[in-house]
Amino acid sequence: MTDVVAHDAELDASGLNCPLPLLKAKMELNRLASGAVLKVIATDAGSQRDFRTFARLAGHTLLREEDDAGVYRYWLKKA
């Protein structure tokens, strides 16, 4: 799959288990300006549920998510 969404920062959380991908993403989002897009790469299947819920509760926008043979990619736009 290809990057179809432009992003301002990228976080590779491959190999990390829940809740670390989400925690690292939250830390990275804190560094970014409002409206910036963070691309996250994860391998934890639970990250799908985590990122959907996090985006909804925190007010961020989950622009896109991909699942490519167990590699999950998320594009989060900071509120």
> DSSP secondary structure string, the chain?
----S--SEEEEETTPPTTHHHHHHHHHHHHSPTT-EEEEEE--TTHHHHHHHHHHHHT-EEEEEEEETTEEEEEEE--
Residue in 5, 9, 16, 18 annotated catalytic: 18
Q: Is residue 4 flagged as an active site residue?
A: no
- Active site amino acids: 18
